[in-house]
Amino acid sequence: MATFLYRLGRFSFRKRHFVALFWVALLALAGAGAAGAPAAGNSSFSIPGTEAQKAFDLLDERFPGTSADGATARVVFKAPDGQKMTDPGNKAAVQDTVEELSGGSEVVQVSDPYQGGGVSRDGSIAYASVTYEVSGMELEESSREALKAAAEDARASGLTVEIGGDALQAVPETGSAEIIGIGVAAVVLVITLGSLLAAGLPLLTAIVGVGIGVASITALASTLDLGSTTSILASMIGLAVGIDYALFVVSRYRAELAEGRTREEAAGRAVGTAGSAVVFAGLTVVIALVGLSVVNIPMLTKMGIAAAGTVAVAVLIALTLIPALLGYAGRRVRPAGEKSKLLGGGRAKDAKDKAERPNMGTRWASFVVRRPLAVLLLGVVGLGAAAVPAGSLELGLPDDGSQPVSTTQRRAYDLLSEGFGPGFNGPLVVVVDAEGSDDPQAVFKQAGDEIKALDNVVNVAPAAPNKAGDTATIAVIPDAKPSSVATEDLVHDIRAAGADIADATGADVLVTGATAMNIDVSQKLNDALVPYLVLVVGLAFLLLIVVFRSILVPLKAALGFLLSVLAALGAVVAVYQWGWLSGLMGVEETGPIMSMMPIFMVGVVFGLAMDYEVFLVTRIREAHVHGEKPAQAVVTGFRYSARVVTAAAIIMIAVFSGFIGSSDSMVKMIGFGLATAVLFDAFVVRMAIVPAVLALLGEKAWWLPKWLDRALPNVDVEGESLAALDRAADKDDEDKELVRA
């Protein structure tokens, strides 16, 4: 592989005009597709194989025309102090609002609070439910504006009016903190590479790669039903790995220049060595992201594949566009150890002085090699302590109660809780399928009576049968809020009672609704986590055996990953569930951790953790393959790679931290989780635990059974074939000298 990538690097350097034109054309093509495509909305949410989804599909079949999957809105009214919603003036204002909303082109039905029990017992609060014929993703902007206008007209009469539901769900915004993250990355690149131009190359290529990825996602959003969150997560991951991959290639290029190679040769060598590590690091990220499809949640699968595509583009750009731009830069990108005049450089340092002066990476690695057991124990105990909160992990999906208090959705949620109780925000829909029963009406009544007898039930509405009379819906209002354990227990209790009814009557009793769907999603994700870990870690373990030609090094990499991801989950629980530092992180409402968070974080963090493992350990193995003893190889590897790996980690942390400012709770939480995981993995696992374990194992770290060594392909990540080219060239030079002599 090293030889192929070496040739690719030299080709891209020589044919820089062609390569640059290709990527610019691809960016323009993707941009044109995005410009002409409809805007992304909120992806439709389906969970195949769950009871909630089965009931949802049954509603579509047995209640045609009711738009079971349509967007909904709850317009909540509160009377001024001292007044009631039943006062004539307030009642007239509400009815005018209902009439105004009923005229919408996409509206199926608007409930009248005064006819459907939509007024609170104390008379201070009322609500009207609006059902649309299309999903929130497909809802036209004119319908949203009409909803807002109707609420504004009601406010003019003196009422407090707020709107809840998914009809007003907005495309999440990442905030200005994302720009700050990129700014931090730029500063780190300048310090690391010693040149504004060299620092600009990784930023430029990362932006090109993310631009292509996000534009492609935008262009395909409507066709493939990709939600707005998909492009944000793809840009988050693509930007981080794009900068890092380019940084490794540029850094190796400068190191090759310092060895005295020509610029074209240095570009080829950089792509042949660092590029090999980029390919395998990128493969681990892609495996982790594509592996999310095993969960069988379409939205999660699409998010993973879209992000994986962006990572693949980042790898290709690092291998081709970076050497092409280095060709354009020429002498303005200086050898390692030199700084530009603007940054106080201009004079090359004496090579001998540089070689004799140990850098920080060398000093740190030397310390770890001398005290491996103490460093190992300290690192493991520290991460173990950080992971303790993960034992209290509670999963759920966000509702309007997790929105910032500044939003109308959150204020509507609070008003409904105040007027009707916390469980009113998470009604359960029980679907009774009595198609095969002799007396469907008796079955409907039996189901309602048994549900009323359960604990934690505030209200059970009369059964509402369909036209055929064989299926009915029963609305159930829990006593607790939607995300509570008590509500989850109630769902399980209703399903247990439904199983008894099914045994006695042959009728199916199914529970659905947003709350039940959230509970089923959490359970499905919990069940999928172990198979997902086995698949992803197993495939990456095999890949790393090929890369490192070792059994213990990949095993150590996988165990180190588990430590860092558990510690990161512990930090997420401490902040978003327990409320530690919640003000600093902009967490307005603590509660269960988003159901998709653990499995998504496991996938992404595993891929990123293997990035640092590949970049760091390949340098160590390269030194060992070239004849150094294990302990010295660790020091040599850190001497050449610790600075760059540290910079790469700081860049990733900065980029991920930028997304903590997002308005979307899932993006905010994932940004924090990924930034924390990179912090733990890069600076504790890879920089401390990895060298300590390698020092303790010594030569055994590189043990591989002979039969397996013969069976595995030689991918040559360390560039041994390139070293062979050097030896062959040196021999040719010696032969020529002998001939002349």
Can you say how many angstroms the Cα of residue 8 is from the centroid of all Cα atoms in its chain? 32
pTM for this predicted structure: 0.77
Give the mean pLDDT of 271-283.
85
pLDDT tens digits, residue range 145-160? 899 999 999 999 999 9
| Most confident option among 50-54, 422-426, 692-696 | 692-696
Q: Which two three-digit tokens encode residue 74?
A: 């709850």
pLDDT tens digits, residue range 196-231? 788 888 888 988 998 998 888 888 776 776 766 677
With a cut of 90, say whether residue 567 has pLDDT above it: yes
Q: Residue 260: is it exposed, middle or buried by C-beta count within 10 angstroms (0-12/13-18/19+)?
A: exposed
With a cut of 90, say whether residue 12 has pLDDT above it: yes
Query: How many Å is the Cα radius of gyration of the chain?
Result: 30
Q: Residue 373: is it exposed, middle or buried by C-beta count within 10 angstroms (0-12/13-18/19+)?
A: exposed
Which one has a higher pLDDT value, 192 or 422?
Answer: 422
The per-residue DSSP string of 142-172 comes to HHHHHHHHHHHHHHTTT-EEEEESSTTPPPP
CA pair distance 141, 105, nearest whole angstrom: 12
Query: How large is the angle between the packed helices 596-625 and 630-658, nearest 10 degrees?
Result: 150
* Nearest Cα residue to 322 out of 16, 544, 618: 16
Q: Which residue has the tokens 């490192």?
A: 548
| Residues 6 or more apart in contact with residue 359 via CB below 8 angstroms | 639, 642, 643
pLDDT tens digits, residue range 278-328? 888 888 888 888 888 888 888 778 888 888 899 999 999 999 999 999 999
Give the mean pLDDT of 259-274.
89
CA pair distance 252, 230, nearest whole angstrom: 33
- Hey, which bits of 37-120 come out as E strands? 72-78, 107-110
Residue 430's beta-bridge partner residues?
Answer: 474, 511
Q: Identify the pLDDT of residue 173.
A: 54
With a cut of 70, say whether residue 377 has pLDDT above it: yes
The answer for 225, left when phi > 0, alpha when psi is -120 to 50, beta otherwise, is left
Amino acid at residue number 69: D
Percentage helix, strand, coil for the chain under 3-state DSSP, each rounded to 5: 70, 5, 25
* Nearest Cα residue to 42 out of 172, 162, 164, 215: 172
pLDDT tens digits, residue range 418-475? 999 988 888 899 999 988 788 889 999 999 999 999 988 988 888 889 888 889 999 8
Q: Which two three-digit tokens encode residue 312?
A: 């693949």
* Nearest Cα residue to 684 out of 563, 574, 558: 563
CA pair distance 64, 62, nearest whole angstrom: 6
Q: Identify the pLDDT of residue 688.
A: 93
Least confidently predicted of 147-151, 492-496, 513-517: 513-517
* Nearest Cα residue to 637 out of 727, 706, 701: 701
CA 234 to each of CA 26, 109, 240, 409: distance values in angstroms, whole numbers, following the listed order: 18, 38, 10, 27
CA pair distance 212, 141, nearest whole angstrom: 27
CA pair distance 647, 188, nearest whole angstrom: 6
Residue 49, helix vs strand vs coil: coil
